[in-house]
């Protein structure tokens, strides 16, 4: 049978805009918005613990995109709230956002994350191992977080993450000549592909030593995609994306149940014929 087929699965609705790190007492007077995502996360987990999760033998916190970042930022915190003898691990899908300049040379992503952290009062909910050394805004980037995470973590990411290409590398309006390429990698010119290969290099460098931990799982394929765990067609179907002979679900299952480790990085685009584009 497939792994996880008979698990209790809970989907937490994402609503706060800061990967559940916001914690401000004051309410925005112009919008009546409450920046309290960290309190929402804590309340949801406490509710689940009271409903039986406090007896869990196995637990996996996962998410995609902002939820993937949540799984990184809250990984150790989640582990600490579960029973001491439980098998607890974390899966980040498309949540490894990297801090690189955009094609114009601007620090677009860093400025954006700085604004998120300032708006939501997130600093107090980011690991002090990072915020004691670096500005809180850059502690929102996983490359500055993952070295300190103690709980086993699996990073599932496309090396050419389509969201990051469209919002970090080539933000809207930065260069009209990129319009076709940023939506469809098959429309990229040779020069644009060189830039994307450079982005892949930067992505792998940002992953860096985080992959060397024995408990760390890694599935980095050369797809132009964002989020690869949420639909059955991509997660676990005959034609799902694969590295070697292992589909995503196989790799995560082997890692979670410690049947074998999994740390694989794909060769550069366009070598992978198993990709889904989204």
Over residues 38-57, the mean pLDDT reads 97
Asked whether residue 76 carries a pLDDT value surpassing 90, the answer given is: yes
103/129 Cα distance (integer angstroms): 31
Grade residue 75 by pLDDT with cuts at 50, 70 and 90: very high
* Those residues with Cβ within 8 angstroms of residue 11's Cβ, 6 or more apart along the chain or in another chain: none
pLDDT tens per residue, range 217-233 = 999 999 999 999 999 99
Catalytic residue among 161, 162, 210, 240: 161
Q: What is the pLDDT of residue 214?
A: 76
Asked whether residue 72 carries a pLDDT value surpassing 90, the answer given is: yes
Q: What is the pLDDT of residue 27?
A: 95
Average predicted confidence (pLDDT) for the chain: 95
Catalytic residue among 226, 229, 240, 250: 226
16/25 Cα distance (integer angstroms): 14
52/48 Cα distance (integer angstroms): 7
Whether the model clears a pTM of 0.75, i.e. scores above it, the answer is yes
Identify whether 226 is a catalytic site residue.
yes
Q: What is the pLDDT of residue 211?
A: 63
Grade residue 278 by pLDDT with cuts at 50, 70 and 90: low
Among the listed residues 100, 164, 94, the one whose alpha carbon sits nearest the alpha carbon of residue 138? 100
Q: What is the pLDDT of residue 210?
A: 64
| Residue of 16 and 47 predicted with greater confidence | 47
pLDDT tens per residue, range 121-174 = 999 999 888 999 999 999 999 999 998 899 999 999 999 999 999 999 999 989
Grade residue 208 by pLDDT with cuts at 50, 70 and 90: confident
What percent of the chain shows pLDDT beyond 70?
A: 97
CA 90 to chain centroid, in Å, comes to 10
| Residue of 191 and 209 predicted with greater confidence | 191
Q: What is the pLDDT of residue 276?
A: 84
What percent of the chain shows pLDDT beyond 90?
A: 91
Identify whether 161 is a catalytic site residue.
yes
Q: What is the pLDDT of residue 277?
A: 67
Identify whether 254 is a catalytic site residue.
no
Catalytic residue among 18, 19, 65, 122: 65
Asked whether residue 63 carries a pLDDT value surpassing 70, the answer given is: yes
Q: What is the pLDDT of residue 2?
A: 87
SS (H, E, C) 94-118: CCCCCCCCCCCCCCHHHHHHHHHHH
pLDDT tens per residue, range 87-129 = 999 999 999 999 999 999 999 999 999 999 999 999 999 988 8
């Amino acid at each position: 049978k497939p792994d996880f087929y008979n698990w209790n699965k809970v989907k937490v609705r994402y609503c706060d805009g800061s990967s559940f790190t916001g914690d401000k007492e004051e309410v925005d007077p112009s919008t009546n918005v409450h920046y309290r995502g960290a309190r929402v996360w804590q309340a949801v987990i406490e509710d689940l613990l009271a409903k039986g999760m406090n007896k869990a033998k196995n637990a996996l916190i996962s998410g995609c995109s902002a939820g993937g970042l949540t799984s990184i930022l809250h990984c150790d915190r989640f582990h600490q709230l579960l029973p001491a003898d439980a098998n607890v691990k974390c899966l980040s899908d498309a949540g490894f956002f990297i801090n690189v300049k955009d094609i114009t040379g601007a620090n677009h992503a860093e400025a954006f994350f700085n604004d998120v952290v300032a708006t939501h009062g997130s600093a107090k909910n980011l690991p002090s191992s990072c915020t004691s050394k670096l500005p809180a805004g850059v502690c929102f980037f996983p490359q500055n977080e993952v070295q300190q995470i103690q709980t086993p973590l699996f990073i599932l990411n496309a090396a050419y993450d389509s969201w990051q290409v469209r919002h970090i590398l080539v933000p809207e309006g930065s260069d009209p000549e990129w319009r076709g390429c940023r939506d469809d990698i098959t429309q990229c010119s040779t020069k644009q592909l060189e830039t994307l290969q450079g982005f892949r290099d930067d992505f792998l460098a940002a992953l860096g030593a985080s992959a060397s931990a024995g408990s760390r799982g890694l599935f980095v394929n050369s797809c132009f995609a964002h989020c690869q765990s949420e639909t059955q067609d991509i997660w676990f179907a005959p034609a799902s994306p694969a590295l070697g002979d292992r589909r995503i679900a196989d790799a995560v299952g082997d890692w979670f149940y410690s049947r074998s480790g999994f740390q694989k990085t794909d060769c550069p685009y366009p070598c992978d014929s198993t990709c889904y584009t989204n």
